Amino acid sequence: MDRLTRYAETLDTAAREAEATPQITPKDPAFTVAEAYEVQKLSVDRRLARGERRIGVKMGLTSRAKMQQVGVDEAAWGRLTDAMLVEEGSALSRAKYVHPRVEPEIAFLMKAPLSGRVTGAAALAAVEAIAPAMEIIDSRFENFKFALEDVVADNTSSSGLVIGSWNDPRSDFSNLGVILEIDGQVVQVGSTAAILGHPLRSLVAAARLVAEAGEQIEAGAIVMAGGITAAPNLAIGQTVRATVQDLGSVMFQVEA
């Protein structure tokens, strides 16, 4: 077993067993971003072999602040599967995660394939609908700390997604107000403009990055555009709701 396959197995096991694992980069400083994406693919391939199904793409590091924090000028991407879907209004089990957090997002539903270098207009033309959404992020690394290479290998910390009602994408969603509530208390406030200045730019970046990996965003796929606010921790008993101006709300609860 080569080292990349070994890393993929370790991360897959950590996710399945909800147990933290040490970072890769301290023990392997030569580990590159390109290798990290290969580990990500190998890890997700293990899940597909167990019967999960690819349903889309998620974008990460889509805010300028997060890019500066990690020291990069490029967003990252990860793969979504059907096992990650959390039904809107339902409860998720805290026991399935290591140290989960939640962030409000915008989700795209694609009506046509998209790949390569495209304009914003071309990207929008491939969109069927947009929805308010939340992503459950859960780094498998100890203390939720990692370098860029670590987080890419770990499928950009993606662990779950909750999608609200779909809306017409032809409305202006460039700068919509966003509120994240936990147990009825507002904990985060933001704007869709936090996603690269406009969520559509995230979709354009996704098309290019996926193509660089020899893939395309398929018709029917979901694309999570990236976090809009900071991501608070999740705890048992919470009710979490995200509301996006003009698009509606999405919620879930946390059980043991």
Quote the domain boundaries for residue 235: 3-255
The confidence band for 75, taking pLDDT boundaries of 50, 70 and 90, is confident
Yes or no: say if 112 and 34 are a contact pair by the CB < 8 Å rule. Answer: no
Yes or no: say if 140 and 154 are a contact pair by the CB < 8 Å rule. Answer: yes
Half-sphere exposure of 137 toward its Cβ, with a 13 Å CA cutoff? 30
pLDDT in tens, 182-213: 999 999 999 999 999 999 999 999 999 999 99
CATH number for the domain that contains residue 65: 3.90.850.10
β-sheet bridge partners, residue 163: 133
**DSSP assigned state of 20:** -
Concatenated DSSP letters of 166-219: -B-TTS--SS-EEEEEETTEEEEEEEGGGTTTSHHHHHHHHHHHHHHTT--BPT
pLDDT in tens, 96-149: 999 999 999 999 999 999 999 999 999 999 999 999 999 999 999 998 888 899
The number of folded domains in the chain is: 1
At 110 the pLDDT is: 98
Is the pLDDT at 20 greater than 70? The verdict is: yes
Phi, psi of 101 (to 5 degrees): -130, 170
User: Across the chain, how many H-helices and E-strands are there?
Assistant: 6, 11
